[in-house]
Structure 1
Amino acid sequence: MLSPKWQKLWKPVVCAVQGMCTAGAFYFINESDVVICSADATFFDSHVSAGLVCALEPIGLMRRIGLGETLRIALMGNDERVSADTALRIGLVSEVVATGQLWGRAHEIAAAIAAKPPSATQGTVKAIWESLDRPYRAALEQGLIYTRLGNPLGTAELAAQRAADGKGAEPKIR
């Protein structure tokens, strides 16, 4: 598995889907932190229609859209396409934009995320994704460790960035 999360790479991933998204393309969605699509995007998984077991892609999909919708996509195969509006409704994507605006909007989201302190951003991604593999209480305990380690780093990065930009004193958060 060469995916960012499998390799424990915690940099945020923004995925922009235009046109058809099928089968192995779900790996990109499953590993992304923010997924948006164009109004003409459609989603389906062709494995079962081709006589193949649909096993790996649904594991990631279940975490994003739940068991019922995952089973429907996997079992319907080529016979049903999930529209962009349906993808938004079921949580497969977080935003639908006009086709001509997709890449600009994806870049806008990525730039906004990239402008934040890297330690805070990557710590957030790590804490959220790793929580999926733990029971609730254990995930909370692990999250507390990340905040104790990451918050001083993130606020120091933010202060350094503000000083470099000439924006003055760091805002106080209460």
Structure 2
Amino acid sequence: MGVSTSPSKKGPEKNGVAVVTVDYPPVNALPVDGWFALADAVRTAGRDPDVHCVVLAAEGRGFNAGVDIKEIQARGQSALVGVNRGCFEAFAAVYECEVPVVAAVQGFCLGGGIGLVGNADVIVASEDATFGLPELDRGALGAATHLARLVPQHLMRALYYTSRTATAAELHAHGSVWRVVPRAELLPAALELAAEIAAKDGELIRLAKSAINGIDPVDVRRSYRFEQGFTYEANVSGVADRVRDTFGKPEVTGEKARKGA
């Protein structure tokens, strides 16, 4: 369990691709330490002069389920501050990685997962992949900055306000997902693309990454930091706790709902 890094090939066949894999069973909802570990792994891989491209992957049935809400409920404000900082560092590490980052996404990609893939350079997804921000259902805010990099503005707002998800096929139609493949072909497809990128000159690909980030119309660090202020406000006001306390509980319907039970 945790975050691991490995070359896609070993020995003399090493092709300049590093694979950073996240594995936090059962659903890859990361604790505070997990976000910092992911940030460190991505930054370290990007600094390696032998690495020309990083693949960000995950074990299990889903790519990422966001933050570990149970940890926040158990630890309170200290966990909230920690996870805010951890997410900020992990998202920034992907965006600022010295080389391109290819995200290989399977199953669910929710909450913090959107922050990761929204800051990646390219996304390859399995046919069963879904993307969304259920933040309003979980007493949280944030990552609209990154969802806006995946879908048009009005669709982003609709998805954010409703907590609905979009499929990999839908994101492919919007141009934010490079390829949609059967699940068994996900990692090979991501590695194939990464190897093509990594075949470029290592110094030139780093210059290209810096140049493209430099012309980005949105400062993702500042934009996400602005969002985090409202996340904190929701928590100190008690709104977040009120919503989080209902997380995982069945909705009250029928006669009980009419009576306010």
CA distance in 1, matches of 2:111, 2:130: 12
What is residue 210 of structure 2 aligned with on the other side? Answer: 126
What TM-score do you get using the length of structure 1 for normalisation? 0.68
Q: Superposition pairs for residues 160-171 of structure 1, below 5 Å?
A: none
Matched position secondary structure for 2:93? coil
Q: Superposition pairs for residues 79-98 of structure 1, below 5 Å?
A: 80-98=164-182
What is residue 59 of structure 1 aligned with on the other side? Answer: 145
CA distance in 2, matches of 1:90, 1:133: 18
Q: Superposition pairs for residues 16-31 of structure 1, below 5 Å?
A: 16-31=104-119
The 3 A distance-change label for structure 1 pair 10 and 66 is farther
Q: Which runs of 5+ in 2 are unaligned?
A: 1-87, 219-261
Does the aligned pair in 2 maintain the 1:69–1:90 contact within 8 Å?
A: no
CA distance in 2, matches of 1:21, 1:71: 17
The 3 A distance-change label for structure 1 pair 68 and 83 is same
| 1:128 CA drift (Å) | 1.0
Could you list the per-position Cα deviations for residues 118-153 of structure 1 after superposition, in whole angstroms to 9, with x for gaps in the alignment?
12211111111111158xxxxxxxxxxxxxxxxxxx
What TM-score do you get using the length of structure 2 for normalisation? 0.46
Does the aligned pair in 1 maintain the 2:133–2:159 contact within 8 Å?
A: yes
What is residue 39 of structure 1 aligned with on the other side? Answer: 127
Higher-strand-fraction structure: 2
Q: Which runs of 5+ in 1 are unaligned?
A: 135-174
Matched pairs, number: 129
Higher-helix-fraction structure: 1
Q: Aligned residues: percent identity?
A: 27
CA distance in 2, matches of 1:22, 1:5: 16
What is residue 157 of structure 2 aligned with on the other side? Answer: 71
CA RMSD of aligned residues (A): 1.8
The runs of at least 4 consecutive aligned structure 1 residues that moved more than 6 Å come to none
